[in-house]
Amino acid sequence: MDLTYTPAQQAFRTQVRDWLAEHVPAERLPSFDTAEGFEAHRAWERTLKQGDWGMVTWPEAYGGRGADLIEWLIFEEEYFRADAPGRVSQNGIFLLGPTLMEYGTEAQKARFLPAMAAGDEIWAQAWSEPGAGSDMAAIRTRAMRDGDAYVINGQKIWSSRAVFADWCFGLFRTDPDSSRHKGLSMILLPLNSPGITIRPIAQLDGDPGFAEIFFDDVRVPAENLLGPEHGGWGVAMATAGFERGLMLRSPARFQKTAERLVTLCRARGANVSAQTRALVVQAWMDAQAYCYSTYQTAGKLMNGGAVGPETSCNKVFWSELDRLMHRTALSILGAAGELDAPQAADEARWLDGYMFSLAGPIYAGANEIQRNIISERVLGMPRA
Amino acid sequence: MRFAYSDDLGALKEGTRAFLDGQNPPERLRREGGLELWPALEDMGLVDIAASLPLAEAIALFEEVGRTALPEPLADTAVIAAPLLQSLGAAGRRPQGARVAICHADAPYANHADTADFILLLDAQRVVWLARDAAKLVSVRSIDPWRRLFSVTGQGDTLAEGDAAREACAYAAALGATAAAAELLGLADRMIDLAVVYAGTREQFGQAIGSFQAVKHLLANARVKLEFARPVVYRASAALDSPVAVSHAKIAATDAALFAAEQAIQVHGGMGYTYEADLHYFMKRAWALAGVWGSREQHLAVVEQAVLDGGIAIGPHNSFES
């Protein structure tokens, strides 16, 4: 155990902090679930790229800076400290990127990763279907091989920001005679392909952050297959591992929310009950616990270890923590909590954040599914 | 920055687990006899473990001790008294292998004082070293059949007074709370295991009850709590001079263990409420350790004051500042 940062790590932190202080927009950007906000966030991604901060852990050849996981954690800590804009490219950089690193051909990596890190191509995920949500193996949308192309027919849903994004990575049934987990493939395709229709779905906050994607004889070059044909389930599980594991939600995000909650609690002083103060302290402790856990996982990976199904614990923990923190803030705020002005004062961000926190236990695999994974694959309990 | 113990500790933990699983199985707990494992613990190097391992790692090893609810009060001697005597320049007072019972404001009853060689009496004014023969012991019953508690009085040698005593008292509290937290992690893990095994064999409606989601999710929740208590305890073991880190660890481990106990007894159904199922030995140890070395309330006050009254730097850029 060595819980101090090396001089090089401290210098890295200073470098990140200084750059962010100079470049983070003074005003909060509009929500990236709107057309205007999406483009504003894309512009921010390009600014990040100019500083070579697009995806710090990636190799330089793919638009990164070859940072290790501790440096990544430091970057994230400074990023949230600076209240920098949310990552509109998150589905690409945090989920598809690592999957490409593992399963992509050299040509695919060279083609897709640098544009992803630069914000030039923003990715949406096309996995869920109306009949395949938690039961993802029920996917029916087909991608049939026809010469040097796949022809896709069917429908995807809950695809975040697909209305605005450039590409999607989808899971399709490539073997028509297969069922369940077998016969699926991961395919990458541009969202402006002929035959694609995208219909926005207004989210809880009214923004068109979700979409349905309809595929009507959409032709995709066969070279856009990621990983083995009919082996897409394994590829998707690797992606889901990144999603639930380290990348999607770094601890800094929750430490920042906990800090805001503590600040709010302090400002309201004697008006906050002992019971609520205890919840605020619990929130701070849990955010710290998630931080220590992530440093521990980083240490394990850097020592050549691997992470397994226990990453499902992460997703349950942070999503319920996030909901608790926002609910606690709202109980302190009273009437001010209702105000809908996401660009205004900190007070007005809590209800917006609370709404999003309600999605946390649902997206990236509902928490009930995570609990099934924990009980069956971590604890070894019998399958139903 | 390296949040990981050495490979050596990993191997030692495995060895200790195998040893304790063999020597201290539930059948032994059920016999409710004496502390006959002391010589074997000494042979294993566990009684003087603080002399051969960094203290943080020695404390982490107590997760394995908790896992089998070891009756011998190993922590009191190995990771509380030994480092404490060392810090007072009084290591020579304790012959190698000698057992020490402890009496402290946060742990007022000395566990197994009747078979200890020495007793350490600590308060903020004075640290006293007492041979067992010179102590007057009055027995107090614990709910845990393996904890033999005594209130202690007697005249001994003063090892520290004034500021030095206050510091020693605080150091003992940090060591005690962190070691108890490590044991609580092991207890939580074991109680989850016992419930998993029970749910895998007990059948209702024609199938193992462990195949029902309602049962699975109780234990999945317990596992999540444990998963995020462990790194907090590891952190504290390497930051004993941070009262916030230590208090956080005691709270997190207590919550994980008490929650695991509640889920485990529920999964055991009526059997969980009997003296016949092994679970109660682990639950009772968890309840005992939840209370000693600082109540949850006491530790929460430490964290609350630091966090809400501005005593520590918080925020994402201050991950290890508390």
Asked if the structure places residue A221 within a domain, the reply is: yes
Asked if the structure places residue A95 within a domain, the reply is: no
Q: Is A86 helix (H, G, I), strand (E, B) or coil?
A: coil
Domain containing B262: what range?
173-318
Kind plus residue range of the DSSP H or E element containing A212: strand A210-221
| pLDDT for the residue A120 | 96
| pLDDT for the residue A107 | 97
Asked if the structure places residue B246 within a domain, the reply is: yes
Written as six digits, the tokens of A59 are 């190799």
Is B200 a residue whose pLDDT tops 90?
A: yes
Express each pLDDT in B151-177 by its tens digit: 999 999 999 999 999 999 999 999 999
Kindly state whether residues A55 and A143 are assigned to the same domain: no
Sequence-separated (6 or more) residues with CB below 8 Å from residue A8: none
- Binary contact (B303, A313; C-beta < 8 A): no
CATH number at residue A333: 1.20.140.10
- How many C-beta atoms surround the C-beta of residue A305 within 10 A? 11
CATH number at residue A177: 2.40.110.10
Express each pLDDT in B214-272 by its tens digit: 999 999 999 999 999 999 999 999 999 999 999 999 999 999 999 999 999 999 999 99
Angstroms from B15 CA to nearest CA on chain A: 20
Domain containing A15: what range?
7-88
Asked if the structure places residue A42 within a domain, the reply is: yes
| pLDDT for the residue B63 | 98
Asked if the structure places residue B236 within a domain, the reply is: yes
Asked if the structure places residue A102 within a domain, the reply is: no
A70 to chain B: closest CA residue: B1
Choosing from A64, A88, A112, the residue where a domain stops is A88
Residue of B155, B170, B177 lying closest to B87 (CA atoms): B170
- Binary contact (A288, B238; C-beta < 8 A): no
| Residues of B in Cβ contact (< 8 Å) with A78 | 316-317
Backbone conformation region of residue B10, classed left if phi is above 0, alpha if psi is from -120 to 50, else beta? alpha
- Rounded to the nearest angstrom, the gap between the alpha carbon of residue B46 and the centroid of all alpha carbons in its chain is 15
- How many C-beta atoms surround the C-beta of residue A164 within 10 A? 24
| pLDDT for the residue A251 | 96
| pLDDT for the residue A336 | 80
| pLDDT for the residue A244 | 65
Residue by residue, what is the 3-state secondary structure of A307-367?
Answer: CCCCHHHHHHHHHHHHHHHHHHHHHHHHHHHHCCCCCCCHHHHHHHHHHHHHHCCCCCCCH
Give residue B84's identity as a one-letter amino acid code. Answer: L
| pLDDT for the residue A338 | 82
The DSSP letter of residue A31 is P
Asked if the structure places residue A104 within a domain, the reply is: no
Cα separation of the two ends of chain B: 16
| Residues of A in Cβ contact (< 8 Å) with B199 | 381
- Binary contact (A289, B4; C-beta < 8 A): no
Asked if the structure places residue B194 within a domain, the reply is: yes
Sequence-separated (6 or more) residues with CB below 8 Å from residue B8: B57
Angstroms from A282 CA to nearest CA on chain B: 9
| Residues of B in Cβ contact (< 8 Å) with A313 | 223-224, 227-228
| pLDDT for the residue B263 | 98
Is B150 a residue whose pLDDT tops 60?
A: yes
Tens place of pLDDT per residue across chain A (384 aa): 899 999 999 999 999 999 999 999 999 899 999 999 999 999 999 999 999 999 999 999 999 999 999 999 999 999 999 999 999 999 999 999 999 999 999 999 999 999 999 999 999 999 999 999 999 999 999 999 999 999 999 999 999 999 999 999 999 999 999 999 999 999 999 999 999 999 999 999 899 999 999 999 999 999 999 999 999 999 999 887 776 667 778 999 999 999 999 999 999 998 999 999 999 999 999 999 999 999 999 998 888 888 888 989 999 999 999 999 999 999 999 888 887 765 557 777 899 899 999 999 999 899 999 999 999 999 999 998
| pLDDT for the residue A167 | 98
Q: What is the pTM of this model?
A: 0.96
How many Å apart are CA B61 and CA B39, to the nearest integer? 18
| pLDDT for the residue A241 | 78
Alpha-carbon dihedral A338, A41, A89, A136, rounded to 10 degrees: 40
The DSSP letter of residue A138 is G
Whole-Å CA distances, A220 to A161, A291, B321: 21, 41, 52
| pLDDT for the residue B178 | 98
- Rounded to the nearest angstrom, the gap between the alpha carbon of residue B78 and the centroid of all alpha carbons in its chain is 12
Asked if the structure places residue B154 within a domain, the reply is: no
Angstroms from A258 CA to nearest CA on chain B: 7
CATH number at residue B265: 1.20.140.10
